[in-house]
Chain A
């Protein structure tokens, strides 16, 4: 290798380094508020909206929303970027500046970093009077996100099957619920409960019941500390014990390792699966599956978690993704206009059957059973979610990841050694140890 070639290699390396340096870094956000435009005709510009609903983008549903939006804001051009692996991909894109104008805040972003990535939308006082869950994205008195919608969790069930098994009233205790599943197993050929173990994420839905069990809006915040969340009597203890018992008593599908979410929707609609734990957002999908299968969508029911407080069921409404404006957006007020319009006027929440983030909006039709049966709704506070997530990550448990519940199910069906008590004790220990080191 001669001198020249050395020089050339050096030049190559330098060029490569420069390219990399150019991609990374980037200036800080200026903290300019993305204020709602005063006059819809004045605001203009192009905005890109990132979404994980690739299906809605592909079917042109989002384009229809954009067309409606343009009737009010004629000078704003909206385009969509549907991302299948939303969390993974957006997290990486956020290392540069190009992550759209409107996006959902990925779970991986630490709350303290919000001001570096997103434009503030206004003060807490302004937003909290109007929207649910604004405490989730509040940093130093400013709010950085508006929830897309909220969901109440519960069991989606096939009413006809439960009726056939002789259960017409909602079970009031975990024992009654298990008895109901047993009756289904005995009297019908259906699978009483379907875990969706393989796809994993449906197992995460169980966590959203935290709050519903004890009728406690602070249940989420209560986890921020060395509190042994799985101690006897704790909400997560009740929740995970129920799942454990369902599997242990053989009331779930035979082979959990090869489940399939897409087919499970049709199976529930057709009456081959009786029950699944999901959010209220899933009801419209199940009804859709029922229509496709040619059965009545009215048979799709939704019941609250089988625990009562003072003779009443409770349903915690928890926040879905929060919509935010990128700190690097060049059309912040157009982006804000989209968020305002989409949350308040698009009718998206009603169509999807989810709880609108607007406080004044009525409960969706999908939760009619809950409303009729006088279920107590309340918004679960998200004020300390960030601290809870820090502990969760440090402990490597994953309250919002399927792994530990997969292990729970494996323990229940004997594929993994150990007892439920040991399993909970292990989780408590990890949680408490992590709580002592994280966030300190």
Chain B
């Protein structure tokens, strides 16, 4: 991004740099060197117009961010202290009542057991994604085709995936037909009992999100300099050793990011089970439960409190995880 700025007018160049990289040392070092020749380079900070330029650039994204993220979150937090039903112009402030209710109703937390299925699935998901990312980072025939195949599901809309897999799991649907070709005839209703339904739904989620993990891993792996492999090969390291000692350590931050995403993702699963089962047959997740509280039973206040609690739980887990696995700087050389 900063490469092209040398030819750009001064103000814009400075702006871009300052917004892209706001570290002081960067500015101090590069500022004078980059200035086009001719006279004493006046610092861009001195011109009032230049000073507000970065903010002009930021107006649109900030306005969107504030309007669609921070204000709704702030209202949600304020609703969580009321008994609002979602429509009525009147609402009463009830203090911490909603939170007390949430923490005194253990059945509201029972749905987190369902998240266990998705958490287990995300382990599989990360393993599969890592496997394919490593394989496809080596020179392989049709590798771009396979990359496309793996990433494709992530591009499909979650609602569409829900519908597709509804037909897939139907009695006599795609899965049953494929199994029949393989000589396995089963009369099992895939979404019929809680265990099978949750496993099936978690499977769909693996299918959908493997592509995302895969691309993250692949990107990280491809940033490893090629000489390292060469050197390792000269030293007689095989593929496994290359993975173990070069690839794995260098993509550790990405793996740890994936784990955080996986945990927060499995706590807040929504789309796929909501479309496919609507939370019936023991597939209700915490978010589905919250949506139902708000929109079926008109307890917007309680549901907002539940959403805040979920947010706090995810923040807490992320914090614990960061304490357990600190984000070390990777240094291969």
Contact = CB atoms under 8 A, between A and B. Distances in A.
A38 interface: no
Interface string A15-31: 11101100000101000
Nearest to A94: B87
A410 B298 contact: no
B16 interface: no
A66 B86 CA distance: 33
Contact of B293 (A95, A396, A402): A396
Most buried by A among B292, B295, B298: B298
A9 B166 CA distance: 47
Contacts of B191: 255, 257-258
**9 smallest beta-carbon distances between A and B, as pairs:** A257-B191, A255-B189, A255-B171, A406-B280, A258-B170, A415-B193, A393-B297, A16-B66, A8-B55
Interface of B is mostly: loop
Interface in B7-30: none
B277 interface: yes
Interface in B190-232: 191-194, 197
A401 B296 contact: yes
Interface size class of A (residues with CB under 8 A): 35 or more
B51 A4 contact: yes
Interface of B: 48, 51-52, 55, 59, 62-63, 66-67, 71, 85-90, 166-167, 169-171, 173, 187, 189, 191-194, 197, 277-282, 292-293, 295-299
Given A113-B87, A254-B189, A401-B296, A416 B281 contact: yes
Contacts of A15: 63
Interface string A66-108: 0000000000000000000001100100110000000000101
Nearest to A17: B71
Interface in A378-421: 393-394, 396, 398, 401-403, 406-407, 410, 413-416
A16 B71 contact: yes
Interface of A: 2, 4-5, 8-9, 12-13, 15-17, 19-20, 26, 28, 87-88, 91, 94-95, 106, 108-110, 113, 116, 197-198, 200, 254-258, 393-394, 396, 398, 401-403, 406-407, 410, 413-416
Most buried by A among B87, B189, B279, B292: B87
Nearest to A197: B280
Given A12-B62, A91-B87, A200-B278, A398 B173 contact: no
Nearest to B283: A257
Given A4-B52, A413-B192, 6 more contacts: A94-B87, A95-B87, A106-B87, A402-B280, A414-B193, A415-B192
Contacts of A116: 88-89
A335 to B, nearest CB: 20
B85 A110 contact: yes
